[in-house]
Amino acid sequence: MITSHAPVHCPADLAEALALRAAHPEAMPLAGGTDVMVFVESGTLSPPAFLNLWGLAELRGVQADGDGLRLGALCTYTELEADARVQATAPALVEAARTVGAKQIQNRGTLAGNVANASPAGDSLPVLLALDAEVEVASVRGTRRIPMDALYTGYRKLALAPDELITAICLPARHPADVQYYRKVGTRLAQAISKVMLGGRLRIEGGVVTEARVAFGSVAAFPVRARTVEAALVGRPVDAAAADLVGADIKPIDDIRSTATYRLEVARRILQGWLAAVAAEGASSSR
């Protein structure tokens, strides 16, 4: 229930939603409402109007997208966890979905809501970076895709025009030589806001890393790729020592949830642990 007295626009379809978005850019999009309602209830947000997306069939469901997947903006975490195609293409995203809130939030919270909310602690964001996801956005002017890597331009700032809505998150096909990883560190296992998250993907061909993605959340104003670490990993067998370079890529801050020193050390250790496990797995499977 919305406890503000702001009007709520309820479009019947995507075309109407985009027309309303163009005519009323001040109206805040509302998907599952699990972020918006917290802000409204706490008084930190009082938008003059809402644009309710929840009824839009065009934003629902998982579809094939070439060899990859198109995850509708309104896909909930529960839907992602249950979908066999998502499990096969993006096991790390399924892992991340399982760590979000509790079941009630997973049933109602959406992937695009997490992306658009743009919290540095948004749990899906490092994985989407690691998977080279693209964010599909639409307006009355047309549709375009923004690489996840180019989506955030500052703290809670997205490269979206005021008349655009997120319509889907697109994932490339999973390469058979890819291994994926997700790890969330919080104060407890459920209902915890992350202190550090790691999303990772390594492509290992002929015993050598040919592509590396290492992305962290909660360590900067928005989720970031650790490009120094990535560069050090490519062109050789998996080497856990690359984790020691993480300080060149992330400069965490102290805040109410954690300290910069803790975050940097935890980021290094969880990365080192993952890389060491992948290296050990490779050594045992090549025996």
Ligand X SMILES: Cc1cc2nc3c(=O)[nH]c(=O)nc-3n(C[C@H](O)[C@H](O)[C@H](O)COP(=O)(O)OP(=O)(O)OC[C@H]3O[C@@H](n4cnc5c(N)ncnc54)[C@H](O)[C@@H]3O)c2cc1C
Q: What's at 96, amino acid-wise?
A: A
What count of Cα atoms within 13 Å lies in the side-chain half-sphere of residue 236? 11
**105 or 279: CB nearest ligand X:** 105
From 31, 97, 131, 148, residue interacting with ligand X (rule: CB under 6 A)? 31
Query: Judged by CB under 6 A, does residue 36 bind ligand X?
Result: yes
**31 or 133: CB nearest ligand X:** 31
Q: Which stretch binds ligand X (CB under 6 A): 110-118, 143-151, 232-240, 253-261?
A: 110-118
The three-state (H, E, C) secondary structure of 224-277, written as one string: EECHHHHHHHCCCCCCHHHHHHHHHCCCCCCECCECHHHHHHHHHHHHHHHHHH
Question: CB–CB of 233/212 below 8 Å?
Answer: yes
Query: Judged by CB under 6 A, does residue 221 bind ligand X?
Result: no
Query: Judged by CB under 6 A, does residue 30 bind ligand X?
Result: yes
Of all residues in this chain, which one has the CB nearest to ligand X in the complex?
113
Q: Which stretch binds ligand X (CB under 6 A): 35-43, 127-135, 141-149, 259-267?
A: 35-43
φ, ψ at 43 (rounded to 5°): 85, 5
From 9, 32, 130, 146, residue interacting with ligand X (rule: CB under 6 A)? 32
Question: CB–CB of 229/243 below 8 Å?
Answer: yes
Q: How far is CA 217 from the centre of its chain?
A: 9
Query: Judged by CB under 6 A, does residue 166 bind ligand X?
Result: yes
From residue 249 to residue 268, the character string flagging contacts with ligand X as x (rule: CB under 6 A) and all else as - is --------------------
Residues facing 51 on adjacent strands:
9, 29
Q: Which stretch binds ligand X (CB under 6 A): 12-20, 34-42, 202-210, 277-285?
A: 34-42
Query: Judged by CB under 6 A, does residue 196 bind ligand X?
Result: no
Question: CB–CB of 163/144 below 8 Å?
Answer: no
